Amino acid sequence: MTSRAARAGVTALGAYAPPKVITNSDLEKVLDTSDEWIRTRTGIRKRHVAADNEFTSDLAVRSVEDLVARHGEGALDGVEFVIVATNTPDALFPATAALVQDHFGLKAGAFDLLAACPGWIYALSVAKAYVESGQYRKVLTIGAEALTKVLDWEDRSTAVLFGDGAGASVVEAVPEPYGLKSIVLGVDGGGAHHLHKRATGCCLPNGEPLSDTLYMNGREVFKFAVRVMHTSTVEAVEKAELSNSDISLLVPHQANSRIIEAARELLGLSQERVVVTVDEYGNNSTASIPLALKHALDEGRVEAGDHLLLVSFGAGLTWGASVLTWGGA
Ligand code: ACO
């Protein structure tokens, strides 16, 4: 008789946000905007911003340092692979993950993963496949973002929304009943023109020029987000063979409190069962879920055995959702 391969789970977590903070009232002084508009339309009060000499690899390293501080020196022992999910790598090449590997002297393979804001969930899915197939036993999965470096600070429709940060996790085999119970990933490249930033190309397939700074059609992304936050979470819960009432905590991408509220209502969850940190950080893309999860852990809102529902959406247009049963370290 063959036994089922061990399930992968998250056994350690750390996160970091740079100390520099820009408040809504700071933005009022330089943009035609108001604290009231930003708060009521997005829920954001402030955002953490990387220093001029601080880049995505630095934020990633800090988040791993936090993980080690929380889980002990041995937390990185035996890491065999490093994935950095990011939209803002230090360089097109080498991978930011290579810089992290070198910083910690890990004997590991490494690559960057680009799937917009759900990148950390995509990274978890790759790590899960590596671990459950037996290819690698321990994977460091990071979401790190210096989005404020690619914003047009004169465009009020995007400049007020984003912040910087990083989150790191260790994925390895965990005993029953813990681990990543389901993963749902998707993309609709037909929506690529709604959210983009140029790298080496000139245009999108529809001929639209790529933007040199982050471009977003907020209204279209909003509608898409509300839809996929619901459909992907329903699918993730079903795949995990659970029901909504089993979910202890929804840990959503922190882009807009109205989007989170719509997802919460559609899932029929009470407000205490949702983590909201968008007021503190704004949208820091791949870092937002691990940062939110760290807050929930620090507030004592997560216990071993809790079913956490993670969900995110972003450029692509992409989405990702997962049920993670916490614990097993
Ligand atoms: N301050 C004041 N007014 C503003 C601002 C601002 N910062 N930004 C826009 N406005 C104005 C607009 O010009 C518009 O004015 P008009 O009616 O005279 O034309 C008005 O406010 C309303 O604009 P809308 O775009 O309709 O505002 P909406 O309520 O949709 O909120 C927002 C805009 C916050 C961007 C919302 O659409 C949203 O959150 N969208 C989703 C964004 C998102 O979640 N992105 C995540 C993916 S990011 C990634 O993958 C990197």
Q: Note the pLDDT of residue 288.
A: 98
CA 79, CA 137: separation in Å to the nearest integer? Answer: 7
Distance, first Cα to last Cα, the chain: 27
Residue in the structure block whose two tokens are 């740079």: 18
Q: What does the pLDDT average to over 250-263?
A: 97
pLDDT tens digit string along 44-97? 999 999 999 999 999 999 999 999 999 998 999 999 999 999 999 999 999 999
Residue 283 designated active-site: yes
CA 133, CA 127: separation in Å to the nearest integer? Answer: 10
Three-state secondary-structure class, residue 236: helix
pLDDT of residue 223 exceeding 80:
yes
pLDDT tens digit string along 142-195? 999 999 999 999 999 999 999 999 999 999 999 999 999 999 999 999 999 999
Q: Note the pLDDT of residue 1.
A: 43
pLDDT tens digit string along 166-176? 999 999 999 99
Residue 244 designated active-site: no
Residue 284 designated active-site: no
Q: What does the pLDDT average to over 28-36?
A: 97
Confidence of residue 205 (pLDDT cuts 50, 70, 90): very high
**Which residue's CA is minimally distant from atom 33 of ligand 1?**
218
Three-state secondary-structure class, residue 288: helix
CA 67, CA 245: separation in Å to the nearest integer? Answer: 31
> Does 290 sit behind a cis peptide bond, omega within 30 degrees of 0 on the bond before it?
no
Q: Note the pLDDT of residue 2.
A: 45
CA of 185 from ligand 1 middle (Å) equals 26
Residue 55: which of 148, 171, 127, 183 has the closest Cα? 148
When the pLDDT of each residue in the chain is averaged and rounded to a whole number, the result is: 97
Q: Is the CB of 257 under 6 A from ligand 1?
A: no
Q: Is the CB of 111 under 6 A from ligand 1?
A: no
* Residue among 28, 37, 41 to mutate when testing ligand 1 (max atoms within 8 A of CB): 41
